[in-house]
Amino acid sequence: MPRAALFDVDGTLADTNHLHVVTWWEAFRQAGHEVRMHDVHRAIGLGSEDLIAHLLGDEHDPDEDDGLSAAHSTLYGTYFDRLPALPKAGELLRTLHSRGWRIVLATSAGGPELEALRRAIDADDVIAGVASADDVAQGKPAPDPVHRALEIAGCGPEDAVFVGDTVWDMRAGTKAGVLTLALLAGGIPRADLEEAGATEVYSDPADLLADLDGSLVGRMERGE
C-alpha cells in the first residue's frame, strides 16, 4: 500500500490565515456585525457556512450567508496575485514525493482561490489530487475531507499522516483515524493543537523538512 501525506493549505503551506481574518472581519463589518478579529482567527479553517454560524451563532439569519461569503471572496480575491507560500512549502512536498509519499491537499478552498494557492506553493508536479470543499458533504472538523483525500491517495488511514495548522484540522484527521501533525504557522497555540489531537507540532514547513527523519513521517517510513 502507498503512503499518503495529506496537507491542509491555508496556514499550513501558505501564509494566508491573517489575510482571511482581515477579509472576513471586513465582510462582517460591512454587513453590520461586530466580530472580534481574535474570534475570526480561531474560526479560520472552517468552511464558509460553518465559519459564519460559529461566529454569529446558530440563530443568525442564514439568508445572510451568501452575501457574507461573497463579500469575503471579493475582498480576499484582491490578494490572489501575491499570496505567499510558507518557507520551504514546495520543497517539503517534493521531498516527500521523492521518498514515495502521495501528496494530496485537503482544503476548504476551491475554485479561483485554490488555483491561486497552488500557484503560490508551486508544487503541482507532485500533487496527486485535491479534496476541496466542493467534494464533500461536510467540511472540517468532520472527517469527510480527510476521507476523500485518502480515497484520492488510494490508501488507508493507517498509512497516512495529515498535516494542518488548526484545531479543525486536528479533529478532522483524528476522526478519520489518521495520525496528525500540526504546524504553528497559522497562529494557533501549541497546547490547543495538541489537545485537539496533534501527535507532533512543528513551527512551519521548513522546520518539519529539517527534521523529517526524526519526525512522525520518518518513523512511519521505518515502521516504528
What are the tens digits of pLDDT across the range 29-81? 999 999 999 999 999 999 999 999 999 998 899 999 999 999 999 999 999 99
DSSP letters of 151-178? Answer: HHHT--GGGEEEEESSHHHHHHHHHTT-
CATH class, range 17-78: mainly alpha
Per-residue pLDDT reduced to its tens digit, 12-29: 999 999 999 999 999 999
| pLDDT above 80: residue 140 | yes
Per-residue pLDDT reduced to its tens digit, 191-211: 999 999 999 999 999 999 999
Mean pLDDT of the chain: 96
| pLDDT above 80: residue 146 | yes
Band of residue 133 on the pLDDT scale cut at 50, 70, 90: confident
| pLDDT above 90: residue 136 | no
Return d(Cα 110, Cα 77) in angstroms, integer.
Answer: 12
Topology of the domain comprising 3-15+84-222: Rossmann fold (3.40.50)
In the numeric block, which cell numbers belong to residue 206?
Answer: 521548513
Domain ranges of the chain: 3-15+84-222, 17-78
Query: Which three-class secondary structure state does DSSP give residue 87?
Result: coil
pLDDT at 134: 78
